[in-house]
Every structure is written in C-alpha cells, then in structure tokens.
Amino acid sequence: MRGRALLYLSVAILLVAPLQVRAAEEDHTWSLSGTLQIDSTSQITIAVTNDSTIGSITLEVHYDTLALEFVPYADTLGYAIERAAGYYVTPNTGAGYVRLVMVNLQGVESNIAVGSGNVARVAFRVRDGVQEGAATTLTLTPKTHRAVLATRQFEIAGPPPSALEDHTWSISGSIQTGRAVNEVYVAVTNQSAIASAAIEVHYDTLALQLATPIEDNVTLTGRAQDLLVVVTKNEGWDYVRLTIFSTAADPPYPNIEAGSGNVAKLVFQVRPGTAAGSTNLSLTTKSAKNLLATKALQIEEDIWANPGNPAASTWSFTGTVEENATQTEMYINVANSKWLGGLTLDVAFDSTLVQPVAPADQNVRLLRRASDMNLAVAHTSGSGHLRLVVTSPSSVPPFPVIEVGSGPVASLKFNHLAAPAGGATLTFTLRLDDGTLLATKSFSVRSYTGPSADVDGDGQTDIFDLLDFLTKWTKEPPSVFTDVNGDGKTDVFDLLAILKDL
C-alpha cells in the first residue's frame, strides 16, 4: 500500500514540474549573409533568431575548397560578435568546413538571449582562377551534422572598387597677379574606373580666392565631364570640396574611365596685395583623411597686365628703291622688350611721288610676330597718309600680340607715279595716332647694273656685303640687289654666292 502511494506521488510531481530540456540548434532560425569578392577578404556573418536562450554551441560552416579558402582572423574582431560578444571561440578546420566551438565565458548559461541578430563571423578568400559571376554554396550545420541550419548560394562578385588613394593624382596650372582667370587643374591616372569621389582642394586663403560664382568656376572636365559635381565652400574653410557622382538610373553609368588626364578645373584669383612667390595647393580625400597630391605653384607677375609702350620701342623702315622701278615694297620693323597690343600707325609719304598699291587693304599685311593680329587699313586716294589699325582678335589672355623681339611686323607696297631717277630720295615717316614720331627714313634710289656680290653698292665685295645681305634677308623685302646669283629670287644660294665671291 505504501509503494503504491509513492508511485502516485511521483507521477503527480512529474505532471506539476515538466523537465527543463535545452532547445537544440535546429530549433532556431539561422541565416548566412555577406559578399564573396575577388581579390579581397570576404566576411560571412552568421545570424540567429531564437525563441529560447542559447548557451555554448558548436557550429560548422561548410564550403567548396575549390572556390574558397578559410582565412583565420588576424584582427581584434574575433569570431563572436554582437549578441555573442561574451563568447570565446576556437576555430577548427577540416576537409571543407570550419568548426566554431563557441564557449560562454560569462558564467551565465543563457548568454545569447532571446531575440534576433548576428552572433559570429568567418572570413574567406576567393581562390585564384575563380571568375566573377561564378556561384558557390555555404552551409551551416551543428557539430553533429544532424541538421542543416542554413544554406545559401553566393555569386562571386568582382574585385572591390579602388580607393581614391590607390590612384595617382596631380595638380597643375599657372597663377599670375592681376589676372582674373588662373586655371588650376586636377588630374588622375587610374587603372580602374572611378564611379564617384569626394575630394578637397586645399589652398592658402590669404593668397588665393576662388573666382565667383564658385559653382561656375569649379567644373568637371576631360574624362569626368559626363559626371555631376556638387561644390561645397563654407565661410572660413581653406579648401573647397568636390563631390563627384552620377545620377543615371540605368547602366552603363558615366564614370571616370581608366586612363590619365584632367578631371576638374578650378579658377583662382590672386588676392590684392599678394606678392609674387610660391603658394602650395594640396588634394585630399574628404575631411583630409588621405593626401592625394601636393603642388607648389609660382605666383608670377601678370605679364598680360603690363604691355609695352610703342613710343618706347625702336621703329624703322627698311627696303630698297630701284631706279626706274614701277613698284617698291618696304617693311615696318620694331624692336620691343615687352609685348605690344593694339595700336594705330600713321605712315606719311610724298603723294606726288608714290601712292599705296590699290586696294590698300590687300597690299598692306602684318608679318611674323604680328601675323596673328587683326589689321584694318585706311587710305584716301591721292592723300599722303596711310593708317594701319592693329588690334587683337581676343581679349582673354593669352591673346595674339606683337611678341617681344626685333624685326619686320608689316609690309607695305607703293606704286611710283613717275620712274625714280638714280640719286633721288624718297622719304617716309611713321607716327602713332597721337602724333608721336616713331621713325623717319629717306631712301636713296639705286641703279641696278646686274647681279653682283656688291650688295651694299659701295663698289667692292667684302665682309660688309655679307653683313648687309644677312640684314636685308631677315628684315627687308627681297630686291634685285639681294639676288646675287641672278636667278630671280633671294635665298640661301645667294648667301653661298657671296661666300664664294669672298
């Protein structure tokens, strides 16, 4: 009777107090996430959604050893993360799997509390030869392999995009005081495409300022011109930030393709009072985290702001007047130590002896250092004045000018109203439009007796004829007197004829 009572009591206790059985790993919901990428260490995260607490566990991640290789952690992240941060993990590797023995070090059996989130992370590298787009599967199981906790197929992604600092950047340009437009360029040599970038150009704000409006003077160029840029320049900043990106909705997306060349242009002005000298510019990533390039640019005196004075230059006429000639060509020459811009020249002559060959605008032309400038010619028939208005076709430096040097800048042709007689003189005068006298020249009419090495006409052939020929060859129109060999033209063979005569 007593034994039966004890049996009834035992059954009652079991009914009142059920057994405490720990949930198995497969009773929870597990998942794998991450990216497997060529040429990089790829991290795969293990997560769990558990309705009951989890104590120490052992998990295995199975992988294809032909596609992947396991990478033991060498950093401080360990293998346990987030909800399992208090665990100690011992990794063991086998044929095609890595086993994570996760032991609770907190002394609390329910360390992974009820909830959802990441608990572990393992790392893999894609083996050499595996192509982008290939598929591989990872499987998560408990140690006993009695169940599959999670499985996922991953597509092998291409190599990670290069960081900005992986490319070669440079800064170039020129800066001059007083000039409104000083262009500074940012260039990059990149082995792979750059889809977006946030870069900063740092500069000395005491010496330089960006031209305004800034959004019109900081622009993309070259290989980046199909992208968009947001320009940020706040008060007090000693830099300007360029955020470069594309807003295209569909591929192919614009990018900075692999190559080399300029990608951005910034227009600077030199602050008033800044002296000539060196100023440093640097290029960095956003918030100056990485230095990409640095450049010392020289602030130079603005040569375009200081043209030469025509009245301070040396002007002259050169040419030869032949006896009985019907026409004479002459050159206007100038020796100038600074560039000359627009100017107006007045040529005066004896209108009873010569007149410009008509039409004058086709028989007066600019030469050599002035040949890129514009010319307007004014002449009233029968008058003794010819006006040459010389202007530059552009107002933005560097623009065409009469460059520094010495020699001819204009050619003028005149008709003789009567055949000039030997020994007579013909005088020309050159002035600025304000009346400033620049040059005057009286040409003596020379008689021609045939080809001769006596270029200067003094009756003998010597070194002075050679010097006279060289001067006439470079600064005067050709004439019968420089045609030493009589072939109808003046060239190097005439020079050789003089040397032979000498």
- pTM for this model (two decimals): 0.48
pLDDT at 355: 97
Q: What is the mean pLDDT of the chain?
A: 88
Greatest mean pLDDT among 88-92, 120-124, 343-347 lies in: 343-347
Q: Tell me if 427 sits within 8 A of 439, measured CB to CB.
A: no
pLDDT at 76 (0 to 100)? 52
Query: Residue 404: is it exposed, middle or buried by C-beta count within 10 angstroms (0-12/13-18/19+)?
Result: middle
Give pLDDT, residue 178. Answer: 81
Which pLDDT value is given to residue 168?
96
At 321, the amino acid letter reads V
DSSP-assigned beta bridge partners for residue 427 = 442
Query: Residue written as tokens 């206790």?
Result: 13
Domains within the chain, CATH numbers bracketed: 25-155 (2.60.40.680), 164-303 (2.60.40.680), 310-446 (2.60.40.680), 463-501 (no CATH)
- Residues 281-310, mean pLDDT to the nearest whole number: 92
Distance CA 337, CA 329 (A): 27
Q: For residues 108-114, give the mean pLDDT.
A: 74
The CA distance from 319 to 420, in Å, is: 15
Count the neighbouring beta carbons within 10 Å of the beta carbon of residue 156: 19
**Over residues 102-122, mean pLDDT:** 83
In a 13 Å sphere around the CA of 177, the CA atoms on its Cβ side amount to: 14
Percentage of the chain modeled with pLDDT above 70? 93
pLDDT at 66: 94
pLDDT in tens, 311-334: 999 999 999 999 999 999 999 999
Tell me the pLDDT tens digit for each residue of 385-436: 999 999 999 988 788 999 999 999 999 999 999 999 988 999 999 999 999 9
Per-residue pLDDT, 430: 98
**Stretch 10-37: mean pLDDT, rounded?**
66
What lies within 8 Å, CB to CB, of 338 at 6+ separation is 306, 307, 308, 309, 404
Using CA atoms, how far residue 386 sits from 327, 341, 357, 361, 418, in Å, is 17, 20, 11, 10, 20
Residue with tokens 């044929």: 95
CB within 8 A of 211, min separation 6: which ones?
180, 181, 217, 267, 268, 269
Beta strands in 337-424 (DSSP E): 343-349, 354-356, 364-366, 374-378, 385-391, 405-416
Is residue 140 within 8 Å of 150, Cβ to Cβ? yes
Within its chain, how far is the Cα of 253 from the centroid? 21
The pLDDT tens digits of the residues spanning 29-38 come to 999 999 998 8
Sign of dihedral through CA atoms 299, 304, 306, 312?
A: positive
Percent of the chain topping pLDDT 90: 62
CA 345 to the chain's CA centroid: 42
Model pLDDT for residues 191-250, shown as the tens digit of each residue: 888 989 999 999 999 999 999 999 999 999 999 999 999 999 999 999 999 999 988 877
Residue 387 sits at φ, ψ, to 5 deg, of -110, 135
Which residues, other chains included, contact 205 with Cβ-Cβ below 8 Å and sequence gap of 6+?
238
The helix-helix angle for 492-501 and 463-475 (nearest 10°) equals 170
Q: Any idea which of 2-16, 86-100, 278-292, 351-365 has the lowest mean pLDDT?
A: 2-16
